[in-house]
Amino acid sequence: MMCRFFVRVKDHGVLCFFCAIAIIVFVLHMFSVYERNLWHHTTGKITYVKEIRDRNFMYTIEYMAKTDTAKHKVRLFRSDSSSPFKGQEVGLKYRKNDIQDFVLLGALKYMPESVQDKS
C-alpha cells in the first residue's frame, strides 16, 4: 500500500516537473518575442565624430525612422576600437516606446583611411 502511494507521487511529481519546465520555456519564448518587437532597426550616416578621450567617441548620426519619412539626428557616446569616421554608414536600433533609447549596432561599410574625415 505504501509502496503504491510513493510510486504515484513519484509519477505525478515527474509529470509536474516536466509541465513546469514547459511553462517556463513558453514564458521565456513569449518574453523574447515581445522584447524583439519593441526594437526597430534602421541605418544612419555619421555626420560628426569627436574623440573625447582615448578611444571614446561622440557621434552625431542622421537616420530615417520607420514610422515617418523625416530625418532625425541622435548623439551617441561609445568606446570603439575601430576608428569611426564622418560619412560612415552604421546600423542603429531604437525602442518604439522611447525614441531616446538607442543602440549603435556597428559600421555597415568601411572606407580606406585616406578617405576618412575625422572632424
Domain extent listing, the chain: 1-37, 40-115
- Contacts by 67-72, CB closer than 8 A, 24 or more apart: 67/40, 72/99
The whole-number pLDDT of residue 75 equals: 74
Question: Could you give the C-alpha distances from 85 to 1, 73, 88, 103, in angstroms and in order?
Answer: 79, 16, 6, 18
How do residues 5-61 score in pLDDT, each as one tens digit? 777 777 788 888 899 999 999 988 887 776 666 677 778 888 888 877 777 777 777
Specify which residues 106 forms β-bridges with.
91
Domain 40-115: assigned CATH number: 2.40.50
- Report the run of H or E that residue 61 belongs to, with start and end: strand 56-64
Spatial separation of the C-alpha atoms in residues 51 and 47, rounded to whole Å: 14
How do residues 77-110 score in pLDDT, each as one tens digit? 777 666 667 777 877 777 665 555 566 665 554 4
Assigned C-alpha cell, 53:
578621450
The model carries a pTM of: 0.46
